[in-house]
């Protein structure tokens, strides 16, 4: 029989038990739900035969939505385990990064 998992310390500060599991689940669920807008937009825009410019713009906007969904999921974990992190700024940064990635990837 094993006891509770030992506390993990980062820079001398203990990390609360369950952080890794919560973070992984938040990322998994955030990406699963967040990828719906780009997948739907890509399929719909390709089906109706829009121009490349419209496709790039549409998928970039959908990528922003993906980033926002992922950022919100992650910020909920951060609020519990790292309350000093500004959740709104985290969502904005994640949204911006995802939109940029979709734009560059197109």
Residue range 13-42: mean pLDDT, rounded? 90
- The token duo for 39 is 């997948």
User: To the nearest whole percent, how much of the chain has pLDDT over 70?
Assistant: 84
Question: What secondary structure, in 3-state letters, does the chain show?
Answer: CCCCCCCEEECCEEECCCHHHHHHHHHHHHHHHHCHHHHHHHHHHHHHCCCHHHHHHHHHHHHHHHHHHHHHHHHHHHHHHCCCCCHHHHHHHHHHHHHHHHHHHC
Residue range 32-39: mean pLDDT, rounded? 98
Average of per-residue pLDDT values in the chain: 90
């Amino acid at each position: 029989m094993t006891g509770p998992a030992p506390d993990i310390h980062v820079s001398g500060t203990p990390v609360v038990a369950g952080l890794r599991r919560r973070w992984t689940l938040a990322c998994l669920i955030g990406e699963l739900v967040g990828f719906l807008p780009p997948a739907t937009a890509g399929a719909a825009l390709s089906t109706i035969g829009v121009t490349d410019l419209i496709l790039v713009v549409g998928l970039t906007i959908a990528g922003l939505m993906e980033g926002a969904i992922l950022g919100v999921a992650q910020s909920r974990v951060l609020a519990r385990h790292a309350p000093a992190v500004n959740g709104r700024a985290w969502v904005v940064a994640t949204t911006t990064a995802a939109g940029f990635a979709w734009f560059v990837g197109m």
